Amino acid sequence: MLRIRNLDAGYGQLRVLKNISLHVDGGEIVAMIGANGAGKTTLLHTIAGLVKPTSGEILFLDHDCRRLKAQNIVTSGCALVPEGRQVFATLSVEENLILGGYVLQKRKGTAAVAEELAHQFELFPVLRERRQQLAGTLSGGEQQMLAMARALMSRPRLVMMDEPSTGLAPLIVRNIFQVIVRLREEGNTVLLIEQNARAALKIADRGYVLETGKVILQGPAEDLLANRDVQRAYLGREKIE
């Protein structure tokens, strides 16, 4: 579904991503872990068209999307749940979701948007309860759910999530990760950037470790969880045998 080859990108003269290659196949959860400043968010922003690559390839559904505008990438079926939620604070929950369904409405009409809205309320029941509430008055966990549901309203083939657990209570984090697993069960594909490396790898099929803009390790998620270097650097402690 997504193929990245020898990708370089950054900001002005600052080279952040350095010769990155990775792939995400349909129906997978792929986790990208690494320390702050490793380039994880820049990677997602480059795929989403918010940062332009300086070299390399980005193929989504076999189409080169390096020169596409961000809105065209969303239209092609790739959606981003940004770090920090970035909901429209002065709009209601339902208005945020309807805006997220703009691409779907253009493609399939109002009835499809209503159907997808009902599906998101089933995935996130609290959003149904808060549907008329201003997004800016929601709790942090509710805003994260809204950000996820808003991205899913376009029915993307690939949904990219940037640090969905940041600042949330453990129970909310557990609920968020349960939803991510359900998305895979429903046939969705997820590229997950997450500081909570252990939780991310526990639900992922495969993972990549990013360090100073380079992929230094990749493999099945269970292998990365068992890797002592990964345990020391990103999982908090070594696994006790």
The per-residue pLDDT for range 89-101, each reduced to its tens digit, is 999 999 999 999 9
DSSP string, 131-191: TTSBGGGS-HHHHHHHHHHHHHTT--SEEEEE-TTTT--HHHHHHHHHHHHHHHHTT-EEE
Pairing of strands 2-11, 14-24: antiparallel
Q: Is the pLDDT of residue 2 over 80?
A: yes
* Banded pLDDT at 241 (limits 50, 70, 90): very low
For 167-179, b/e burial (b = at least 16 CB within 10 A) is: ebeeebbebbbeb
List CB contacts of 241: < 8 A, sequence separation 6 or more. none
**Under a CB-based contact definition with an 8 Å cutoff, are residues 9 and 30 in contact?**
no
DSSP string, 54-121: EEEEEEETTEE-TTS-HHHHHHHTEEEE-TT----TTSBHHHHHHHHTHHHHHHH-HHHHHHHHHHHH
CATH 3.40.50.300 domain locations along the chain? 1-77+157-167+183-241
Beta bridge partners of 5: 57
Give the per-residue pLDDT at 167: 86
**CATH architecture for segment(s) 1-77+157-167+183-241:** 3-Layer(aba) Sandwich (3.40)
Q: Is the pLDDT of residue 206 over 90?
A: yes
Q: Output the pTM of the full model.
A: 0.91
Q: Is the pLDDT of residue 188 over 60?
A: yes
User: Shortest CA distance to 191 belongs to which of 20, 11, 56?
Assistant: 20
The SS3 assignment for 208 reads strand
